């Protein structure tokens, strides 16, 4: 499994610098614009590609997923791994369908406050993180700004995170996470629908829709 799919991994790093280097005002301007745009949306749904690779390895296998977000709620689908994660803001259901058995693990959302969630990736920089604008480049014809985030605490498993932002639309296009072993996890949004309306029950796991499911309740 790719580092617990890293939408859900700890989003931390261990590099610190001088005061000016820690809080780049140009980077903050971009991050604030992305955050404000996201928080103004009634909801969004997107497909994405992700891959994990280690230095020296051959080209990693690219896999696909789907994500829906509504405020603090999200529904993540990883079809090639047979996994779905539902979060309605209070409860988190992690459903796994291996083909031979089905199980769902239930946790309180409050137990995952220190983890990176799809609903918090747009605002994670606001507390406990340093950031700087690395520059701009054209990616698939889109003028993209790259921002590096590092945590203020030391000794964490991730060395750095680079966010990629559409300069004109202020959309988050993807990100890269480098861990303490030199591995790199990359995410890239492929299609995004910001006009979709989703019912609250879309973010709640309903076992009746999945047949016989083993339930592991850790609340």
Q: What's the CATH code, domain 9-217?
A: 2.50.20.10
pTM, full prediction: 0.75
> Both tokens of residue 194?
């910001």
Predicted local confidence at residue 152, as pLDDT: 78
Concatenate the DSSP letters of all residues of 6-50 into one string: TTSS---------HHHHB-HHHHHHHHHHHHHHHT-S-EEEEEEE
Q: Which residue has the tokens 């809080």?
A: 23
Identify the pLDDT of residue 206.
Answer: 93
Identify whether the C-beta of residue 144 lies closer than 8 Å to the C-beta of residue 137: yes
Q: What is the pLDDT of residues 123-181, one digit of tens each?
A: 777 877 889 999 999 988 999 999 998 877 766 556 678 999 999 999 989 988 877 67
Residues 6+ apart with CB under 8 A from 141: none
In this prediction, residue 136 carries a pLDDT of: 95
Flag whether pLDDT at 21 surpasses 90. Answer: no
* In the chain, where the domains are located: 9-217
Cα–Cα distance, 180 to 67 (Å, whole number): 27
pLDDT(102) > 80 = yes
Q: Which among 1-5, 19-23, 197-201 has the top mean pLDDT?
A: 197-201
Of residues 145 and 71, more confidently modeled:
145
Q: What is the mean pLDDT of residues 79-85?
A: 91
Share of the chain above pLDDT 70, in %: 82
Greater pLDDT, 52 or 55: 52
Distance CA 186, CA 184 (A): 6
Give the largest Cα separation in the chain, rounded.
56
Helix ranges (H only) for the chain are 19-22, 25-39
pLDDT of amino acid 182:
74
Kindly state the average pLDDT of the residues 102-113: 87
3-state secondary structure of 191: strand
What's the pLDDT at 179? Answer: 73
| pLDDT at residue 69 greater than cutoff 70 | yes
């Amino acid at each position: 499994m790719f580092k617990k799919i890293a939408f859900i991994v700890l989003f931390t790093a261990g590099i610190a610098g001088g005061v000016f280097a820690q809080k780049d005002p140009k980077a903050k301007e971009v991050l604030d614009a992305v955050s404000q745009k996201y928080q103004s949306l009634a909801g969004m749904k997107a497909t994405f590609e992700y891959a994990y690779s280690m230095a020296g390895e051959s080209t990693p296998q690219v896999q696909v997923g789907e994500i829906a977000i509504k405020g603090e709620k999200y529904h993540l689908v990883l079809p090639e791994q047979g996994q779905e994660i539902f979060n309605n803001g209070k409860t988190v259901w992690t459903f796994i369908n291996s083909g031979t058995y089905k199980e769902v693990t239930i946790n309180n959302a409050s137990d995952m406050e220190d983890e990176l969630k799809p609903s918090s990736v747009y605002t994670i920089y606001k507390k406990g993180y340093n950031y700087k604008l690395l520059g701009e480049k054209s990616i698939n014809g889109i003028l993209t700004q790259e921002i590096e985030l590092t945590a203020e605490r030391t000794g964490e498993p991730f060395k750095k995170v680079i966010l990629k932002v559409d300069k004109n639309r202020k959309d988050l296009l993807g990100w890269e996470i480098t861990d303490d072993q030199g591995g790199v996890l990359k995410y890239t949004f492929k299609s995004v629908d910001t006009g979709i309306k989703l019912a609250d029950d879309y973010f709640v796991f309903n076992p009746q829709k999945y047949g016989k499911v083993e339930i592991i309740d850790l609340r």
